[in-house]
A and B are shown apart, each in its own frame.
Chain A
Amino acid sequence: MDAILFLLFAAIAVISAINLVLQTHPISSALSLIGVMGALAALYLLLGGEFIAAAQLIVYAGAIMVLFVFVIMLLNAGAEVKIRRGPWVKFFGIPLLVAFLGLIGYILQNLFPASEGVQFGGFTHGTALDIGRLLFTSYLLPFEVTSVLILVALVGAIVLARKEID
């Protein structure tokens, strides 16, 4: 059952990711990216990451993608114009990609034997309680630094996107 769920959501993620790369219109790519993120949230749930799955849906699929779609609409971005690329893209790019993935897959199969699988419920410490406790004890300094980073990003975005005053 777990394997079937994994294969289902992995297929959704991979097909959406391929669609993201192949689509020429940015709004189609954005919708594909939402598909990837939704499928990944389901996989996080299978791995026992309740909090991260919820954060993935709210922060990534919600907030960040709304920002992307908003900018696409605002700039009225159309489809890419087709240009001719060199033949090396087709003749080297895709085989190299497949060869790289084959190598990675081979190494990973050898590193992690297939005997132990991911069981739903095999890891139950991904709740908001556990994450919050660790975040405010061991990882307090990174957490505070992150808040400063967010503040800087906020100010930077406003400064960059504001209307020039003559």
Chain B
Amino acid sequence: MPQLPIPQSAPISWYLILSAILFALGVAGFLYRRNIITVFMSIELMLNAVNLSFITFSYKLKQVDGHIFSFFVMVVAAAEAAVGLAIILTVFKNRQTLEIDEISSLKN
């Protein structure tokens, strides 16, 4: 059987690079999309990417503290989702649109 060019176990850096890729994609979605719900989901993607970094460093340093921070991030994300979606509901009720380009009362 030919030897595959991948190592036996994934290095720490691979996990951190995956985290960076997911975070960058989250930023791209945040800037590129115009549907307010998709923008909100991109924020959740960024939070998830940061969680992966926390867990990876927790493994690297052999300490549980990273898991605790990840847990707190999840709690804050849940609170943020509840309030943010309520705000989206209110915006839609007042404006009948989900396009962020059309919600520009604070501009000028």
* Interface, chain A (partner B; CB < 8 A): 1-4, 6-7, 10, 13-14, 17-18, 20-21, 24, 26, 29-30, 33, 36-37, 40, 43-44, 46-49, 51-52, 55-56, 59-60, 63-64, 67-68, 71-72, 74-75, 77, 80-81, 83, 89, 93, 97, 100-101, 104-105, 108-109, 111-119, 122-123, 125-126, 130-131, 134-135, 139, 142, 146, 149-150, 152-154, 156-158, 160-161
A125 contacts B78, CB within 8 Å? no
Task: Tell me which of A134, A139, A149 contacts B79 (CB under 8 A).
Answer: A149
Residue of B whose beta carbon sits closest to that of A109: B13
**Interface CB pairs A-B, < 8 A, 23:** A3-B8, A14-B21, A17-B22, A24-B35, A29-B41, A30-B37, A33-B44, A36-B22, A40-B51, A43-B18, A43-B55, A52-B51, A67-B82, A68-B40, A72-B37, A77-B98, A114-B11, A117-B10, A118-B11, A123-B62, A146-B76, A153-B80, A160-B86
Residue of A whose beta carbon sits closest to that of B66: A49
CB distance from B90 to the nearest CB of A (A): 5
CB distance from A158 to the nearest CB of B (A): 8
B58 contacts A126, CB within 8 Å? yes
A130 contacts B64, CB within 8 Å? yes
A116 contacts B11, CB within 8 Å? yes
A-B contact count (CB 8 A): 230
| Known contacts A14-B21, A20-B41; A123/B35 CB under 8 A | no
A71 contacts B88, CB within 8 Å? yes
| Known contacts A13-B22, A33-B45, A60-B74; A52/B55 CB under 8 A | yes
B48 contacts A37, CB within 8 Å? yes
Given contacts A3-B8, A115-B11, 4 further A-B contacts (CB under 8 A): A3-B6, A4-B6, A43-B52, A49-B67
What 6 A-B pairs come out closest when comparing CB atoms? A117-B9, A153-B79, A6-B10, A160-B86, A21-B29, A2-B9
A104 contacts B62, CB within 8 Å? no
Task: Tell me which of A7, A89, A104, A150 contacts B10 (CB under 8 A).
Answer: A7
Q: Which residues of A contact B37 (CB under 8 A)?
A: 26, 29-30, 68, 71-72, 75, 77
Task: Tell me which of A3, A75, A101, A112 contacts B21 (CB under 8 A).
Answer: A101
